Every structure is written in C-alpha cells, then in structure tokens.
Amino acid sequence: MSVGAAQLGLRQNWKQFTLLVIVNAFVGGMVGIERTVLPMLAEQDFGIASRTAALSFIVAFGISKALSNYFVGRLAGRFGRKSMLVTGWLLALPVPFMLIYADAWSWIVAANILLGIHQGFAWSSTVVMKMDLVGEKDRGLAMGLNEFAGYLAVAAVAFLTGLLAAEYGPRPVPFQVGIGIAVVGLLLTVLWVKDTGHHVHAEAAKSAVPLLEKPFLDTSVRHRVLGSVTQAGLVNNLNDGMLWGLLPVLLAGQGFNTASIGAIAAVYPAVWGLGQLLTGKLADHVDRKLLLVLGMVLQGIAILFLPYVDAQGTYIALSATLGLGTALVYPTFLATIAAHTHPKQRAESLGIFRLWRDLGYAIGALLTGLIADRFGLTASILSIGVITVISGLLVWLRMPAERRCLEPIDLKKWLEKPDVRVVDVRSPEEYASGHLPEAINIPVDRLLEQARTWPKRQRIVTVCAKGGGRSAQAAQLLRDVGFGRTWWLCGGTLGWS
C-alpha cells in the first residue's frame, strides 16, 4: 500500500478497527482472570497477612506495564505497531501456567511482571493503531470503543473467574480461562491484524500540530494540557490499584462470599467499559477539561463513601459510580494527548502518558498497603479518595479551557464587526467547491505560518465542511500559540448554508 492509498477515518477502516476492538477485548480478559481471585489467593493459599506484601503483585504489574508502555512508544515507530502487538501476546502465553503452578508468592509476582509487560505491549499497540486509523475527528469515539471492549472484558472475565473460584476453588480452573484467551488473541493478531504505519505517514503529511521540543518533559509536566492529563492519569490508576487490592479484602471483612465479591468488583469495570461508548463520543464534542474534572471528582467522592456502607446494593451503586467517573476520563485522556501531539510523536507521547498513568498502579498499591498496615483499611481508602478529588481540582486550575464551536447565528452577528477573521482551513479545491463569502482560505498545514502577523486579540473563526474535524484542530493550534479568542464554526459550511 502506498502512502497516498492510506485513508483516515472510522468508516474507511472499519474492518481493521473492529478487529482491533476484538483483540483488545482479549487483552482486557487477561487482566480479568486474576482481578477477583488473586487478592484472596494471597491469604488463603500463601498465608500472607501483610497488606503491603499481598499487594506486591500489583506493584510488579504496575511497574512492568508502565515501563513497557514507554518502550513500546519508542519502538513502535522503528519496528511497527503490529510487531509490538505480536510480542505482547507471546509474553502472555506463560502467565496462566505460572499462576496455576506457583508454589511460592514470588512466582505470582513474576507472573504479574510478565502480565504487565504483555499489557504494555498489547494494549498500547491497539490504542495507537486505532488512533492511526481514525484521524482527528473520531478519536474520542475510537478510544471509547477501545476501552469499552477492554474493560468490559475485564469485568466479564472477573465475574466468570469469581464464579469458577466459588465452585472449584481459586486454582487451577479460573486461570485456565487465560490459556484460551492468550492463544486466540495471538492467532487473531498474527493472521489478520495489519500494521498502520502508512496511515501515520498520510496524516503526518497534513498535520499542523507542532512537534514537541522535549517529548518526555512536555508530556510529563511542562505542557499545560499534556501535564494536566498525565497527573490525572496517574491518580486514576492509583485509585484503581487500591480498589484492585483492597476492595475484595474490604468486602470479605464485611462477610460477603466469593461470588458476591466477584459481582460487586465486576460492576466497576463493567460500567467503566459500557460508559465509554457514550463518553468517548462526548470527548469529541464536549469540553474535555469538564469531562476530566467531573470524572476525577466523581471517583474521589465514591471512594470516600466506601468504608461507611455495608449493604450489597450500596456497594454496587458506589462501584457503578466509580465506573462512571472512570469512563468519563479514560477515553478523554487518550483523545486529549493525541490532539496535542504530532502524528510522528503520537506513539511516543502516548507511551510517556501511559508510563506515568500505569505507575499509578504501583504507587497506589504501595501507598495503600503501607497506610493500611499502619493506620488501617479505612484510613488507606480515605486517603486515596482525597488525593483523587485534589487531582480533579488540579486539572481545573491548570488545564486551559477548550472553547468549542460557534453557532452560525452568532457568527452572522459577529460579522457586523470589523475584528473578526473567518478562515476556511480546507484545501483550495474544497474551498473552491463552496465556502462562506467572508472566509479566506488557508489550509490547516499552513495556518500557523500565515498567522504570525495577525494581532493576538483578533477574533478568529475556523471553518471546514462539517465542523469538528480540521476546523477544531486549527482552532486549537491557534489557541496554543496565543490566539485566545478563537472558535470553530458549528456545522461548518454545510451548517451555514
């Protein structure tokens, strides 16, 4: 396939996109095999009473996944996305056998190191490949579908293994599910998944997003948008690490049986997964800053209530609230990172974000384990709830607001004043086929160069055919370089007419 033949868009690439969604469901299922069972296994089979020691498997998983995310981001451009995905599945194959036959807790920790590397390679690859396929306009929807499939699979397999553990015991039957998942995931990838390198080159040729000067520093902290998203991602997984390790223990202490614990624990990733079908699309149309703040605060409040309830229905409601809060932020994280990075740096920047985000698992497990051992379970859970709320407030304070589209009726009023510049950011051929009478034509890839001489206080409205694609990208580019009074036209030229 030539570069020119690569088309961007969800509709244009629906077959490969659908296949990658299915593959990511299998990736999520690999985590689900131990989500319910492993915290109880630590105490029942290995006699580990210390919360810090019991949560060591999450620390191992979080660190290995985080580092893998980073290296996949660096290596994907050199060796291709598909090769990273195949590598991830090969690394998954030994994990179920290690969990089944482990005779010491160190083997469980080692299995989780491999599981973390598998998740870093496989999940990161499916995320980046979907971003490559769909282009700018549908990135939120793409990430919603990706995370929906992955986390719904986590929930389904967690629920299934909880039932199997209640019927047959924690080993070996629940972990045998993982053998089938790993084999099928590998076969799907090797036989039918195609690399997306041509799509990256096609988008890069048209992109006007500036290259990051120092990708690691910018993504981690320096860039106001990327840094805000990265800290929130870390805290999101910090509280998820706490829930993974301590929620089954909290519920067992309340007298719930294994099947009930599995059901309650499964609601959280189920709502998280299903919710992203809606919230992913929202991230393409609603202020992403608002979604991030609302999601983080909602999570924090739900966590703060966990120690003070005892009814199964209330726990299910809180688990659902946690899932909704996480659904609001998860696709929004990824869509925001992609929107503010050049296609050539997308895999690297997403890898850096996912490095910090998944270090949250390790930090959360260590922090909650240490606090639980010293001050008790309640203090540990409350501390994570407070940190989560603070993270949402940091996004509110630091991340610039995203002004979205301007309605055609409002633009008609604005055009009566002299300080409004309307810029059609499509190609000259598209512009010639029909445009607003007041619009000048500057393709998006030449916009920043042309805008150097414009006054920064001028009101600017960017326009494309339907609105929300190139016009939204162009408006964001102008805001990033200091044109604070920039909007894009709702509905584009079609909406205007």
Strand (E) or helix (H) holding 406: strand 405-406
Q: Of 397, 279, 346, whose CA–CA distance to 135 is shortest?
A: 346
Whether residue 68 contacts residue 114, with contact meaning beta carbons closer than 8 Å, is answered with no
Whether residue 405 contacts residue 467, with contact meaning beta carbons closer than 8 Å, is answered with yes
Q: Encoding tokens for residue 427? A: 């190609």
Q: Which residue has the tokens 């805008």?
A: 451
From residue 432, alpha-carbon distances to 175, 427, 444, 476, 495 in Å are 61, 9, 16, 24, 17
**How many CA atoms are closer than 13 Å to the CA of 69, on its beta-carbon side?**
25
* Whether residue 464 lies in the annotated active site: yes
From residue 253, alpha-carbon distances to 165, 382, 449 in Å are 18, 17, 63
Whether residue 128 contacts residue 76, with contact meaning beta carbons closer than 8 Å, is answered with yes
Active-site residue, selected from the candidate residues 324, 464, 474, 478: 464
Q: How far apart are CA 469 and CA 139, in angstroms?
A: 10
Contacts of 305 by beta carbon, 8 Å cutoff, 6+ apart: 318
Whether residue 195 contacts residue 80, with contact meaning beta carbons closer than 8 Å, is answered with yes
Q: How far apart are CA 389 and CA 294, in angstroms?
A: 10
Contacts of 422 by beta carbon, 8 Å cutoff, 6+ apart: 411, 415, 436, 438, 439, 440, 460, 461, 463, 489
Cα angle 183, 189, 190 (rounded to 5 degrees) comes to: 90
Question: Quick check: bond before 172 cis, omega within 30?
Answer: yes
Name the residues annotated as catalytic: 464
